[in-house]
Amino acid sequence: MEAMAGQGAMIIMGDGKHMFNSRQGDGHYRIDIGLLGTEEFAANPFDSSNHAAVKEFLLREENFGKYSPAMQEVISQSDGPFRPWVMYYMPTDRLNWEASSDVTLIGDAAHVTTPFVGDGVNCAMRDSVILAEKIRELGLNKEAIAAYEADMFPYAIDVITRSRQSGEMFFDKNGPKTFLDVMTSGKPLIGASDGH
């Protein structure tokens, strides 16, 4: 892994699947593998505590069995734990509720999204800062919550939309070409910011 990814990360994508390998602070590499499937598939395609069965599944021809020997070696040498993770996102047309006088939501509680633009924590921190600014400016009341949510809704809609588009790109049949085209288009899906 170190020879391929160095101190950073590497992405392998195409043919409806992807692998994202990233070096962690303690020096190990985290391997995230994405396969398209139904919610039922992700719930229990195999016993995820059985490392040999997980590796056998991932190395099947229809999964990563046609990938390079180096990528197959990454899978075969992985030591787990393996955790299936179903990805959900908030339908953007639902980000329009009426403000309450005593409660609001931030981060994933307000606008869960897929991780394909890497903005989850940033979005939650942004929400916290905006909410704190509105409370300082307007007081602890419905007006502050409504002002925060009026700011949060369009930003969250943008993050969810970009993440869904990015996810489609990661799983595209011609993923690497699609990824490069998008990232060099002048309007990349990843790394957008509104300055907060």
Helices (H), the chain: 2-5, 39-43, 51-58, 69-76, 107-111, 120-138, 142-170, 175-183
pLDDT band at 193 (very low <50, low <70, confident <90, very high): low
The percent of residues above 90 in pLDDT, for the chain, comes to 43
Q: 63-67, 125-129, 164-168, 188-192: lowest mean pLDDT where?
A: 188-192
18-52 pLDDT per residue, tens? 898 888 889 888 889 988 887 777 766 667 788 89
61-113 pLDDT per residue, tens? 999 999 889 999 999 999 878 888 888 899 999 999 999 999 999 999 999 99
* pLDDT of 195 above 70: no
List the one residue out of 50, 51, 44 whose CA is nearest residue 78: 51
Residue with the larger pLDDT of the pair 165 and 40? 165
- Specify the pTM: 0.82
Contacts 24+ apart (CB under 8 A), 89-96: 89/113, 89/114, 89/160, 89/163, 89/164, 90/156, 90/160, 92/156, 92/157, 92/160, 92/161, 95/153, 95/156, 95/157, 95/160, 96/153
Domains of the chain: 2-76 (no CATH), 92-183 (3.50.50.60)
